[in-house]
Amino acid sequence: MSQIILQAKGINKSFHDPITIQILKDIDFTINKGEFVSIIGKSGCGKSTLLYILSTMDTDFEGELLIDGESTKNKKEGQLALIRNEKIGFVFQFHYLLNEFNVLRNVMLPGLKLGKYSEKEMEHRAMEKLKILGIESEALKPANQLSGGQKQRVAIARALINDPLIIMGDEPTGNLDKKNSNIVFDIFKELAHEFKQTLLIVTHDNEFAKSTDRIIEMEDGRIIKF
């Protein structure tokens, strides 16, 4: 049996403002190492909310979340930040690159924070990631001079920099045109199959979901198929 990377145990979440609405109901599932998983569902079904709980950024929920066998319960904000830094890579709908830095620096930032490698090594590693994504030639440009597709690829490189256990994506192609979406799809597929990278992508694009190993389908805060 392959190693379990992420496990959700009976996760419930409600919003209390203005009235209490339960948004996630008894979510139970696991993700194994090397799996390429997508979460689909209609908008408003709670899939993004679930992702942010799984990412440790949202701590206001009931139930338990285990990442790499470790419970996130009772962990302090600083410890959770460290988990995100070391074990989770993010790709959002929007690229969120820092315009103050060049592309290379943007990719390096989470790595420098972790501080596992020297700055020189980090630079080398960041270049390698950019090479995988085919944008090494843009490395020294300021982040705001890149096209939308390129920016999203830089964001993926940034997610990869600390060799995370899992990469989470929240509609990573949502802001891109067809052509760039396809490029990003292909990158994810390549990461999953060639580099055995665990991926968890929230999407509403069924076509994209079909090409993943496993589809978790949600409706009204419940998982209806996985």
Partner 1 sequence: MNIKLIMTIAKSLLLARWKQTLVAAVGVTFSITMFITLLGFMSGLNDLLDGLILNRTPHIKLFNEIKASKEQPIDLSDKFKGSYHFIHSIKPSNARQEIYNNGAILKTLKNDNRVKGIAPKIVAQVFYNVGAIDVTGVINGIDVEAENTLFFFKDYVTKGIYINLLNVPNSIILGKGVADKMLANIGDVVQVTTPKGDRIQLKVVGFFQSGLQELDKVQSYASLATTQKLLGKSNNYITDIQIKLNDITKAPAIAMEYAKTFEIDAEDIQTANSQFETGSSVRTLISYAVGITLLIVAGFGIYNILNMMIFEKMDSIAILKATGFSGKDVNAIFLIIALSIGFFGGLFGLLFGFGLSSIIDQIPFNTAALPTIKTYPINYNPKFYTVGITFSLITTYFAGLFPARKASKIDPVVIIRGK
- Check if the beta carbon of residue 165 is closer than 8 Å to that of residue 69: no
Between 13 and 31, CB nearer to partner 1: 13
Residue 32, classed as helix, strand or coil, is strand
Within residues 21-50, the interface with partner 1 by CB under 8 A covers 48
Question: Which among 32-40, 90-98, 130-138, 205-213 is the span making contact with partner 1, rule CB under 8 A?
Answer: 90-98
Between 71 and 99, CB nearer to partner 1: 99
Give the number of residues in contact with partner 1, rule: CB under 8 A.
Answer: 31
Q: State which of residues 55, 173, 197, 203 lies at the interface with partner 1 (CB under 8 A).
A: 55
Residue 100 engages partner 1 in binding (rule: CB under 8 A): yes
- Check if the beta carbon of residue 150 is closer than 8 Å to that of residue 107: no
Helix axes 103-114, 77-87, angle to 10 degrees: 120
The pair of structure tokens assigned to 73 is 């319960």
Q: State which of residues 9, 14, 33, 94 lies at the interface with partner 1 (CB under 8 A).
A: 94
- Listed in sequence order, the residues at least 6 apart from 222 whose beta carbon sits closer than 8 Å to its beta carbon are 25, 26, 27
Between 32 and 72, CB nearer to partner 1: 72
What letter represents residue 69's amino acid? G
What letter represents residue 177's amino acid? D
Between 2 and 55, CB nearer to partner 1: 55
Fill in the DSSP letter of residue 200: E
Between 21 and 224, CB nearer to partner 1: 21
Residue 96 engages partner 1 in binding (rule: CB under 8 A): yes
Query: From the CB of 211, what's the least distance to partner 1, in Å?
Result: 25
R_g over Cα of the chain: 17
Query: From the CB of 117, what's the least distance to partner 1, in Å?
Result: 12
Q: Give first-to-last CA distance, the chain, whole Å.
A: 18
Fill in the DSSP letter of residue 59: -
Which chain residues interact with partner 1 by CB under 8 A? 48, 52, 55, 57-58, 77-78, 81-82, 84-86, 90, 92-94, 96-101, 109-110, 112-115, 158, 162, 170
